[in-house]
Amino acid sequence: MLSGALMLSHEKKVTVKSAVKKAFHFLFLYFFWKGFYLCFDRIIAGGIGVSDIKPLILSLIRERGYYHLWYLAMLFWILLLIPLIRKGCEEKKVCELYLIPFLLLSVILPAAAYFDYPFRYTVSDFVTNLEPLYYAGYLGFFILGHYLYEWNTGWSKFKKLSVTAAAVITFAVFWINAVGRSLDAGKMFTDFSTPFNPGCVLLCVAVFICIADNKKKTGNDSKEIGLYERLSRGAFGVYIIHPLVIVFLSKENVVGTLLPNAWGIPVLLLIILIISYAISLILNLIPVIKKLMG
């Protein structure tokens, strides 16, 4: 959402050349980090030698790579289409023409399929057969950020609190549903672990609106905006390197031996975030590596 607000804003000058250059930068990052993690996996598994070079090259071309790298590939396509998207998002009604199907097909109806009500499976099949992600996928968040920033006339504290409360309540509803399904199946139910979870969307909107309103009221000179900028410097690095931290902590079982799962999982998440962020900031101080961190 932040990327959409920044890249699609009329305040930012974007040319075809700059969009293509930025897009191919992320395509390079995609293949670089895919290769890095392919090598990392082989080293962890027992080492890497000359005989692994050909399989690595084939894997670089044919495999998807680590679980989180899809985001870089997605950024490549979105950034490549920035000039076209900007043109289409100049009018509020055009944005709404996209966002309404996005929210309906990617957020509301898929979530509704996990609750019991009449015609549940009919709704589920209907959504699946429409292949909504081809139209209303992650681009929806990109355009939603632009829409909320460009045509946001200011939200009252009541509205912000209402959206935040709705996000918390929605999260709770889906969490209870997921726990019940996990207990019934005897294994963890993870279908709700998606950015398209309504609770996640509402929370993103609430946080985004607070930041956007603050920026519009105070400009770039406020302490809060300065804090956001400082935090953002290491954010991309956290995304890139956090799997390495997870592997290390999982191997050493740092938290599992000290705390029960109920406390250990959120504590582990916090530790991963802090360590990844610290490493990211350090790597960003090295000129050559900095270019690989976003």
Q: What is the pLDDT of residues 233-271, one digit of tens each?
A: 788 889 999 999 888 887 766 655 566 655 666 777 888
Confidence of residue 32 (pLDDT cuts 50, 70, 90): very high
* Residue 185 placed within a domain: yes
Q: What percent of the chain has pLDDT over 90?
A: 10
As a whole number, the mean pLDDT across the chain is 82
Residues 55 and 1 in one domain: yes
Q: What pLDDT, on the 0 to 100 scale, is given for residue 263?
A: 65
Whether 109 shows a pLDDT value over 70: the answer reads yes
Mean pLDDT along residues 73-79? 87
* Residue 146 placed within a domain: no
Residues 3 and 83 in one domain: yes
Q: What pLDDT, on the 0 to 100 scale, is given for residue 221?
A: 66
Residues 120 and 178 in one domain: no
Residues 248 and 290 in one domain: yes
Residues 118 and 159 in one domain: no
Residues 56 and 116 in one domain: no
Confidence of residue 135 (pLDDT cuts 50, 70, 90): low
Mean pLDDT along residues 210-226? 73
What is the pTM assigned to this prediction?
Answer: 0.79
* Residue 84 placed within a domain: yes
Whether 24 shows a pLDDT value over 90: the answer reads yes
* Residue 143 placed within a domain: no
Residues 213 and 201 in one domain: yes
Residues 175 and 195 in one domain: yes
Q: What is the dihedral of CA 95, 7, 279, 49, to 10 degrees?
A: 90
Mean pLDDT along residues 113-130? 76
Residues 51 and 80 in one domain: yes
Last residue of a domain, one of 195, 221, 247: 221
* Residue 9 placed within a domain: yes
Mean pLDDT along residues 49-78? 83
Residues 241 and 284 in one domain: yes
* Residue 201 placed within a domain: yes
**Lowest-confidence pick of 97-111, 224-238, 246-260, 263-277:** 246-260
Mean pLDDT along residues 185-209? 83
Residues 109 and 129 in one domain: yes
* Residue 209 placed within a domain: yes
Residues 243 and 217 in one domain: no
The total of structural domains in the chain comes to 4
Q: What pLDDT, on the 0 to 100 scale, is given for residue 10?
A: 77
Structural domain span for residue 179 = 152-221
Mean pLDDT along residues 215-230? 71
Mean pLDDT along residues 48-53? 75
Last residue of a domain, one of 221, 254, 276: 221
Q: What pLDDT, on the 0 to 100 scale, is given for residue 264?
A: 65
* Residue 96 placed within a domain: yes
Cβ burial 38-48 (10 Å sphere, 16+ → b, else e): bebebeeeeeb
Confidence of residue 33 (pLDDT cuts 50, 70, 90): very high
Q: What pLDDT, on the 0 to 100 scale, is given for residue 12?
A: 78
